[in-house]
């Protein structure tokens, strides 16, 4: 049987690979190997997601860990070359835009192994973001470009990539969300935090451009403190952000800010319970912009741009930038009842994993079913 080898590395990869792995396993026409690079390694940034998403433990764990971009990417490449040599995959499947994604694609391309990039074509057009470099380069060397929305197709075509390689399969992360939503809503997360449905806001911040720049980060925290004076703000803190808070000596002030609740990073189900019942979300994450669009929760993206414009064009997202006054004013308008309603984009319907599995069968010349993507 032909073999697909999946790469996961960092937190936002797990909820994208789980539905693909499940669909391939249910269809039974391909074998698969799951490789975890170890880019993220804390239990709360990694292990809990496997349990929450019902994903099997990785077949191979590289244990790479943290480092500079060059170190992290290079270490993943060195180890993956050995894995690809011994596993001999027929297709390497990478997702998203993290360093592990690009590292895997580079190794596969040099070894002549076909590559599929899931979540291809997203562009912020901001080359200062490491993720944008990872996206552009991964797409350039991928054989199958599986996109979440039509804007991504247009970006790839504008860059001169062959239309025959592009397939609009929809947003696979939303498969995970729809599959887990009911279970998440049964968790006691809100009562444990003393929150009422729609009575609080949720915040995540971890982009280097926001948390590594002291001025930008302090501005964002002051805007959050303002919002926290109107309703509780729950802020699960990413390890990178936790480090900056302590380096800047802000921990004590933040702990004392009324309404602001700093908590540890949450598992997938717990966080879904939190976001799906929030009044408002603040974020610089890509995934949360998409999840809030599907959940119908107003989202303020505290960045100057987004690689996911469909969440703004038809979803609930507003790209508000990092100016604290603008963030406060926009949040106030939403809390006063003027949040965007939004619609759910085409093919964000919980069937993307199945479409992807069918694309892999077609690409590898197995299975004869018509493609869902074409329906």
Site for ligand UD1 in 199-238 (CB under 6 A): 206, 238
Q: Which two tokens stand for residue 10?
A: 């960092």
Toward ligand UD1, which CB reaches closer, 99 or 301?
Answer: 99
Number of H helices and E strands in the chain, helices first, is 17, 13
How many angstroms separate the Cα of 181 from the Cα of each of 52, 148, 165, 261, 276?
A: 11, 20, 33, 24, 8
Considering only 14-22, 93-101, 186-194, 298-306, which stretch makes contact with ligand UD1 by CB under 6 A? 93-101
Binding mask 62-81 for ligand UD1 (x = CB under 6 A): ----x---------------
Toward ligand UD1, which CB reaches closer, 93 or 210?
Answer: 210
Give the position of tokens 């190794």: 107
6 is catalytic: no
Q: Which two tokens stand for residue 71?
A: 């170190």
Q: Distance (Å, rounded) from C-alpha 113 to C-alpha 33?
A: 15
Q: In angstroms, what is the minimal distance from the CB of 40 to ligand UD1?
A: 4
Sheet containing 299-301: give its strands across.
Answer: 260-263, 233-236, 201-204, 280-283, 299-301, 317-319
Which class for 181: exposed (0-12), middle (13-18), buried (19 or more C-beta within 10 A)? middle
Q: Distance (Å, rounded) from C-alpha 195 to C-alpha 11?
A: 26
Q: In angstroms, what is the minimal distance from the CB of 259 to ligand UD1?
A: 25
The residue within the footprint of ligand UD1, chosen from 6, 16, 21, 40 (CB under 6 A), is 40
Toward ligand UD1, which CB reaches closer, 282 or 360?
Answer: 282
The residue within the footprint of ligand UD1, chosen from 11, 21, 279, 303 (CB under 6 A), is 11
Cα four-point dihedral sign 234, 237, 242, 248: negative
The residue within the footprint of ligand UD1, chosen from 27, 31, 45, 150 (CB under 6 A), is 45
Cβ neighbours around 239 below 10 Å, total = 16
Considering only 94-102, 111-119, 196-204, 323-331, which stretch makes contact with ligand UD1 by CB under 6 A? 94-102
The residue within the footprint of ligand UD1, chosen from 98, 120, 202, 310 (CB under 6 A), is 98
The residue within the footprint of ligand UD1, chosen from 37, 99, 225, 316 (CB under 6 A), is 99
Q: Which two tokens stand for residue 299?
A: 């989202």
Angle subtended at Cα 263 by Cα 261 and Cα 268, rounded to the nearest 5 degrees? 125
Catalytic residue among 40, 117, 206, 238: 206
265 makes contact with ligand UD1 (CB under 6 A): no
The residue within the footprint of ligand UD1, chosen from 131, 290, 354, 359 (CB under 6 A), is 131
Rg (CA), the chain: 20
Binding mask 160-199 for ligand UD1 (x = CB under 6 A): ----------------------------------------
Considering only 189-197, 239-247, 289-297, 308-316, which stretch makes contact with ligand UD1 by CB under 6 A? 239-247
- Helix spans in 167-284 (H): 172-185, 189-193, 208-211, 214-228, 239-247, 251-256, 268-276
Considering only 96-104, 245-253, 330-338, 345-353, which stretch makes contact with ligand UD1 by CB under 6 A? 96-104
Toward ligand UD1, which CB reaches closer, 206 or 347?
Answer: 206
Q: Which two tokens stand for residue 97?
A: 């835009």
* Active site residues per annotation: 206
List of residues contacting ligand UD1 (CB under 6 A):
10-12, 39-42, 45, 66, 97-99, 130-131, 206, 238-240, 243
């Amino acid at each position: 049987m032909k073999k697909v080898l999946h790469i996961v590395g960092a937190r936002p990869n797990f909820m994208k690979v789980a539905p693909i792995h499940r669909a391939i396993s249910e269809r039974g026409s391909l074998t698969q190997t799951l490789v975890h690079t170890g880019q993220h390694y804390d239990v709360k940034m990694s292990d809990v997601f496997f349990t929450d998403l019902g994903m099997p433990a990785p077949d191979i764990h590289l244990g790479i860990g943290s480092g500079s971009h060059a170190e992290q990417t290079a270490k993943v490449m060195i180890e993956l070359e050995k894995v690809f040599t011994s596993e001999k995959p027929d297709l390497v499947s990478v997702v998203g835009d993290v360093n592990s994604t690009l590292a895997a694609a580079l190794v596969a391309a040099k070894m002549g192994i076909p590559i599929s990039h899931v979540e291809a074509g997203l562009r912020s057009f901001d080359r200062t973001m490491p993720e944008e470099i990872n996206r552009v380069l991964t797409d350039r060397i991928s054989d199958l470009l599986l996109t979440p929305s039509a804007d991504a197709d247009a970006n790839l075509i504008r860059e001169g990539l062959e239309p025959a390689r592009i397939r609009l399969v929809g947003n696979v992360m939303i498969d995970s969300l729809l599959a887990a939503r009911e279970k998440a809503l049964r968790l006691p997360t809100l009562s444990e935090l003393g929150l009422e449905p729609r009575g609080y806001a949720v915040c995540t911040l971890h982009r280097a451009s926001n948390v590594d720049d002291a001025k930008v980060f302090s501005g964002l925290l002051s805007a959050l403190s303002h919002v926290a004076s109107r309703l509780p703000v729950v802020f699960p803190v990413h390890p990178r952000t936790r480090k900056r808070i302590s380096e800047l000596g802000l921990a004590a002030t933040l702990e004392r800010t009324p309404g602001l609740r700093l908590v540890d990073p949450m598992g997938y189900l717990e966080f879904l319970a939190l976001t799906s019942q929030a009044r408002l979300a603040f974020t610089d994450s890509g995934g949360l912009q998409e999840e809030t669009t599907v959940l119908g929760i107003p989202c303020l993206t505290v960045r100057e741009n987004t690689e996911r414009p469909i969440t703004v064009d038809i979803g609930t997202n507003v790209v508000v930038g990092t100016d604290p006054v603008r963030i406060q004013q926009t949040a106030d308008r939403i809390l006063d009842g003027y949040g965007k309603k939004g619609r759910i984009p085409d093919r964000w319907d919980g069937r993307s994993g199945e479409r992807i599995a069918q694309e892999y069968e077609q690409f590898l010349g197995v299975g004869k079913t018509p493609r869902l993507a074409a329906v």
